[in-house]
Structure 1
Amino acid sequence: MIAPLRTLALTCAVAVALTACKKQEQQTPPPPEVGVIEAKAETLPLQRELVGRLSPFRSADVRARVPGVLLKRVYQEGQDVKQGQVLFLIDPAPLQASLNSSQGQLASAQATYVNAKAAADRARSLAPQAFVSKSDVDAAEAAERSAAAAVTQAQAAVTSAKINLGYAEVTSPISGRAGKQQVTEGALVGQGDVTLLTTVDQLDPLYVNFSMSSDEMTQLRRAQAQGSVALSGDGKSTVQVRLADGTVYGEPGTLDYSSATVDPATGAVTLRAVLPNPQQLLLPGSFVSFQAVLGERKNAFLVPLQSLQRDTVGGYVMVVGKDGKVVRKNVTTEGQQGANWLVTGGIEPGDQVIVAGVQKVKEGAPAKAAPWNPAAANGNGQAPAAGAPAGAAPAAAPADAAADPAKADGQATEGAPAAEPTKQ
């Protein structure tokens, strides 16, 4: 009787041990599978998203430079004009009369000079024989010099009168787009002040005026001095404008001016870029958003947006170490480039940065790393389910399933086996 009881007890003990082992195996899940990328140090463009305002490359006010009555507008408002093209006509009659008067005074001065010169020559020829006194010779020569000065003065008056007569035709000082007429025909212009008639703006190229905070400019220049940031290969910083519909403008601009002082009202530094506008699609005065490439960042890393986490300490990424365990690394970022963060510190080349499955890992716990496949990741950046082929896209739901949830549920029930109840 005792032997069977011992056999029964031994059998129960073995069964309990097997049950305990099986339960322990069920309670120890395998390490989660995560999608990772290998961090690679690169030389990347240092980009900034900015907003600026367009202004003409040159803008010239066309003004009346002589007094007179405006007779006619010659140009077409809103059309392109050339440098030196006549835009307005001012009544030239008073100006022509002034020129005639100056020419008459010049003729009189020239005649006086001829007589004075003849008298001076006669006195100088008679002086050696003592036929005239020294004082008479001096007086004759003084009259000659005064007459010569009067001729010069009269010639200047004639030149001035000719210039004023030329101003009766108001021309464009530059080539560009002529604006609206500011004064109508028949108005008296240039009387007491220089009357504005219109404005001509050069639209190709355009200026893009923008600003950056003084702190950001200081950091950028400090980084350039330390060698971690360098200018682009051509030594110039560029800007790429985006149009209102989101498309990229086809002509890149070039930074050509940076203020040497900080605006005390805004704490910002004024910058300017030159933007080609051959088709004149862009107009002065409008705001544009653009991406400015201010140099090249050396030894930087690009990590996908979903891999970066933040807490009260700052930004960090989770990395699968060489021992297969997860390590937290605090990082320093310098803005966003497309779908990636530009990381300038905190990670090393070769680090396996977790992109998909960040929510499933814990610092110090093991994780199974697999190359991250963006095409197979879902909208939340999670890794594809185990057993799914790499790069396989999720099956699309039937078109009528979205409209009828009950029908969708029914199709799912028919097409897949019932899920097992969750084990506690």
Structure 2
Amino acid sequence: MNSETIIPKTITKTKLNQISFMKKVTFLILSAIFFISCADKNAAPPPSAAPQLPVLSITKEDVTTETEYPASIQGSVDVEIRPQVSGNLERVLVDEGAYVTKGQTLFKINERPFREQLNNALANLHAAEAASINAQLEVDKLKPLVQNKVVSDYQLKTAKASQKIAAANIEQAKAMVESARINLGYTTVKAPVSGYIGRLPKKQGSLVSATDIEPLTTLSDVHEVFVYFSLGETDFIKFKSQYAGNTIGDKIKNLPPVTLILADNNPFSKSGKIDMVDGQFDKTTGAITLRATFPNANGTLRSGNTGKIRLGINHNDVILVPQSATVEMQDKVFVFTVNKENKVSKMPITIVGKSETNYLISDGIKYGDQIVLSGIDKLQEGQVIQPKKAAKEVAQIINKK
């Protein structure tokens, strides 16, 4: 009985020791894990790799920048059609906007008063011619009488003077006839040039006069058009310096064609040529006017249209920087240059023009420098990067002229 009681007590004590040992081991393991975890949290993170960014080597290019100037369009001939005699407008033979040819009849003014004036002038001419005949007969009659000393020489001289007066009256009468014919012709108003008819403020039956403020209509010859635009003094100096020639006339001959941008921002289908520079600057605006001529065979352009002249100026050996490689801060534009240690520096640049998607740079970077093309929004001064040359296709797009 006693041996059976002692054996279980021994087994129980051994198990309790084992359990206690396992608890201690578990506690030590958990403590080690805890301390290792805390040590990892306090340790500095490993350094991140330098970002790999595309860079571009700066080169010099020959480019043409384009500047647009507001312009007004006029036909090569814009004339007001006015009556030259007074009378009732008997007929209107054209419609607004119609195309007419040179010499075509546009209006007819009542001609009856002027025809009567012509008839009266013709009658006066015939009377003067008859008086001249009588004067000549008188001279012919007196000549033999004077030779035979039947009458005095004074009477012959008087007859000859009368004959000269009669001849002068004939010339005066002829002038009156011609004037009457001209006035009669003015009753038919014809087109002086081919072109398009404007508004017709006067209707059939209206009384018209040469002193009217408003014309009968306007007529525009637009087979070619004149486009006028202005350059400021600084722009004009740059404009002149671009082209060869000692005089303005010589420079005009060397000017390239220009483009007309219409009101819908689309270019006109034909190119124009600058053919006139005004003789002086406008004192009010400080600008000088230039004229470009454009062919307009289809009549697309009309007098009074507006648009913009796109003028190209050549630039040789200039530095181009893509707009996408720049960042603007506090009214200044910067690029990130890369040095030999692959560190970036934020560099301000001076922009003097724009060619498509590129800036023309005069200061800040130079030939041979390298700039970061993209990813510049997260760059910091002095940061190290891994430069990667831009792909050939990308460089071609960026440097597109």
| Alignment TM-score, normalising by the size of structure 1 | 0.69
Give the aligned CA root-mean-square deviation in angstroms: 3.8
> Relative to 1, partners in 2 of residues 1:88 and 1:274: Cα closer, same or farther, differing over 3 Å?
same
Q: Is the 8 A contact 1:63 1:194 kept in 2?
A: no
Name the counterpart of 2:274. Answer: 255
Question: 1:134, 1:69 → 2: CA distance?
Answer: 57
Name the counterpart of 1:91. Answer: 110
Displacement after TM superposition at 1:338 (Å)? 1.7
Name the counterpart of 2:255. Answer: 235
Question: 2:357, 2:392 → 1: CA distance?
Answer: 11
Displacement after TM superposition at 1:88 (Å)? 1.1
1:72 and 2:91 correspond: yes
> Relative to 1, partners in 2 of residues 1:63 and 1:226: Cα closer, same or farther, differing over 3 Å?
closer
Displacement after TM superposition at 1:164 (Å)? 1.0
Q: Give the residue type in structure 1 aligned to 2:100.
A: V
Q: Is the 8 A contact 1:214 1:269 kept in 2?
A: yes
Q: Which has a greater percent of helix?
A: 2
1:142 and 2:178 correspond: no
Instruction: Spell out the pairing of 1:22-33 with structure 2 (5 A cutoff).
Output: 26-27=46-47, 29-30=49-50, 32-33=52-53
Name the counterpart of 2:21. Answer: none
> Relative to 1, partners in 2 of residues 1:257 and 1:123: Cα closer, same or farther, differing over 3 Å?
same
Name the counterpart of 2:316. Answer: 298
Displacement after TM superposition at 1:48 (Å)? 0.5
Q: Is the 8 A contact 1:64 1:194 kept in 2?
A: no
Q: Is the 8 A contact 1:239 1:273 kept in 2?
A: no
Q: Is the 8 A contact 2:64 2:355 kept in 1?
A: no
> Relative to 1, partners in 2 of residues 1:156 and 1:46: Cα closer, same or farther, differing over 3 Å?
farther
Question: 1:104, 1:169 → 2: CA distance?
Answer: 24
Q: Give secondary structure in 1 for the equivalent of 2:108.
A: strand
> Relative to 1, partners in 2 of residues 1:205 and 1:339: Cα closer, same or farther, differing over 3 Å?
same
Q: Give secondary structure in 1 for the equivalent of 2:94.
A: coil
Instruction: Spell out the pairing of 1:8-407 with structure 2 (5 A cutoff).
Output: 26-27=46-47, 29-30=49-50, 32-42=52-62, 44-123=63-142, 132-190=151-209, 193=212, 196-221=215-240, 234-236=254-256, 238-244=258-264, 246-293=265-312, 295-310=313-328, 314-315=332-333, 317-320=335-338, 331-343=349-361, 348-359=366-377, 368-373=386-391
Q: Give secondary structure in 2 for the equivalent of 1:66.
A: coil
Structure 2 regions of 5+ residues with no counterpart? 1-42
Q: Give the residue type in structure 2 aligned to 1:296.
A: N
> Relative to 1, partners in 2 of residues 1:116 and 1:329: Cα closer, same or farther, differing over 3 Å?
farther
Q: Is the 8 A contact 1:232 1:296 kept in 2?
A: no
Question: 1:78, 1:48 → 2: CA distance?
Answer: 34
Question: 2:301, 2:71 → 1: CA distance?
Answer: 13
Q: Give the residue type in structure 1 aligned to 2:161.
A: A
- Bigger Rg over Cα: 2
Question: 1:237, 1:344 → 2: CA distance?
Answer: 27
Write out per-residue CA displacement over residues 179-235 of structure 1, whole angstroms, 9 at most, x where no aligned residue: 2322121222227647621221223323333333333324444566999xx969943
Write out per-residue CA displacement over residues 281-338 of structure 1, whole angstroms, 9 at most, x where no aligned residue: 3343343244222x42233343321234455695554444677665776654333222
> Relative to 1, partners in 2 of residues 1:264 and 1:194: Cα closer, same or farther, differing over 3 Å?
closer
Question: 2:274, 2:245 → 1: CA distance?
Answer: 22
Displacement after TM superposition at 1:72 (Å)? 1.0
> Relative to 1, partners in 2 of residues 1:303 and 1:122: Cα closer, same or farther, differing over 3 Å?
farther
Q: Is the 8 A contact 1:36 1:369 kept in 2?
A: no
| Alignment TM-score, normalising by the size of structure 2 | 0.72
Name the counterpart of 2:13. Answer: none
Displacement after TM superposition at 1:74 (Å)? 1.1
Aligned residues: 351
Displacement after TM superposition at 1:99 (Å)? 0.6
Question: 1:308, 1:130 → 2: CA distance?
Answer: 118
Displacement after TM superposition at 1:68 (Å)? 1.6
Question: 1:133, 1:181 → 2: CA distance?
Answer: 70
Q: Give the residue type in structure 2 aligned to 1:304.
A: P
> Relative to 1, partners in 2 of residues 1:62 and 1:279: Cα closer, same or farther, differing over 3 Å?
same
> Relative to 1, partners in 2 of residues 1:130 and 1:342: Cα closer, same or farther, differing over 3 Å?
farther
Q: Give secondary structure in 2 for the equivalent of 1:298.
A: strand
Displacement after TM superposition at 1:268 (Å)? 3.2
Structure 1 regions of 5+ residues with no counterpart? 1-22, 382-424
> Relative to 1, partners in 2 of residues 1:34 and 1:151: Cα closer, same or farther, differing over 3 Å?
same
Q: Give secondary structure in 2 for the equivalent of 1:94.
A: helix
> Relative to 1, partners in 2 of residues 1:361 and 1:167: Cα closer, same or farther, differing over 3 Å?
same
Identity %: 27
